[in-house]
Amino acid sequence: MKYSGIGGQAVIEGIMMKNKDDYAVAVRRPDGEIEVKKDSYVSVTEKVKFLSLPFIRGIFNFADSMILGMRALTWSAGFFEDDEDSEPGRFELFLDRVFGEKLEKVLMGFVMVFSVVMAAAIFMVLPMFLSNVFEIFISSDTVMAILEGVIRILIFIGYIKLISRMEDIRRTFMYHGAEHKCINCVEHGMPLTVENVRKSSKEHKRCGTSFILIVMVISILFFMVIRVDNVWLRALSRIILIPVIAGVSYEFLRLAGRSDSCVVNALSRPGMWMQGLTTKEPDDSMIQVAIAAVEQVFDWREYLKENFPETDLTGINLETAAAAETAEAGA
């Protein structure tokens, strides 16, 4: 495996792929055709060099991912909104009157802030309160920290299991699998065709699911060392330390994505197992969407020539061009 620099996420009936400052969102429209939007997004870590330092860049890259992800999700959702005419309610009219053209950005910001607050409450603070129930039986702070971490992981697994029962989420997980399979395909030296993508792995070391698991594991190590007796100060410490834990976790994930050492691969394995919950095998139509997104932001042929010169690209240009035409026709 050789690092390519591309990454992405699943959206509603589609995939967003990013390479450097360019990103593309490809969506399978209700009429069966593939719609692709290409744009650019400059990370805050590029604008402010101080924020690109190790252990600092992690939290800001996470924020960038949320912002870009919301943009991609909002655009993809536009193809599946209810077209029936309906009168806006009083609250909608009030918001439109107050914020005007900025309403969409305001709502997007509110959703992101609300999501972060709820995630911190459910996955960081709630496990602490649940583990406190066992304090009367357990006197060891180390065991309590491990117990809190186990509860945190179990809550996350339960949450994923619960939402995966929804049909739309299951399809999103299939697109998530297509995203990983495309990246694995090129990073393992294979031309980006539907056949090659289909036989590639749906797990990848740089996945956000792995990042979440790494955060949970590293939080156990942090809370073994940082001990606070007062329960409310302890809850506050869980929130305050989130940026620090995220920064450390990001550095490991970044290393994992660039290293093929046995140690790194072994440490990455639990995160890749966890991806079994958030990635599913895609069908060929989903793979076509993923390929369409990749080809807008990444010259995989040049990448293969440079990193895998032994790869035979003869006839590939014609094959992928035909595949692209088939995909756009909604086959």
pLDDT band at 88 (very low <50, low <70, confident <90, very high): low
pLDDT band at 3 (very low <50, low <70, confident <90, very high): very high
* In the predicted structure, residue 164 carries a pLDDT above the cut 60: yes
* In the predicted structure, residue 94 carries a pLDDT above the cut 90: no
Q: Over the stretch 172-211, which tens digit does the pLDDT of each residue have?
A: 999 999 999 999 999 999 999 999 999 999 999 999 999 9
* In the predicted structure, residue 115 carries a pLDDT above the cut 50: yes
Cα–Cα dist 203/150, whole Å: 23
* In the predicted structure, residue 315 carries a pLDDT above the cut 60: no
Judged by average pLDDT, the poorest of 100-104, 110-114, 208-212, 262-266 is 100-104
Cα–Cα dist 305/315, whole Å: 14
The share of the chain scoring above pLDDT 90, in percent, equals: 73
pLDDT band at 97 (very low <50, low <70, confident <90, very high): confident
* In the predicted structure, residue 51 carries a pLDDT above the cut 70: yes
The share of the chain scoring above pLDDT 70, in percent, equals: 90
Q: Over the stretch 14-39, which tens digit does the pLDDT of each residue have?
A: 999 999 999 999 999 999 999 999 99
SS3 category, 8: strand
Eight-class DSSP state of 48: S
Inter-residue contact 278 to 175 (CB < 8 Å)? no
Token pair, residue 230, equals 């007062």
Residue at 236: amino acid letter: L
Q: Over the stretch 202-217, which tens digit does the pLDDT of each residue have?
A: 999 999 999 999 999 9
* In the predicted structure, residue 95 carries a pLDDT above the cut 90: no
Alpha helices, H only, 53-166: 57-77, 90-99, 103-120, 126-132, 141-163
Q: What is the pTM of this model?
A: 0.87
Inter-residue contact 186 to 304 (CB < 8 Å)? yes
Q: What integer pLDDT is reported at residue 319 of this predicted model?
A: 47
Judged by average pLDDT, the poorest of 4-13, 49-58, 84-93, 198-207 is 84-93
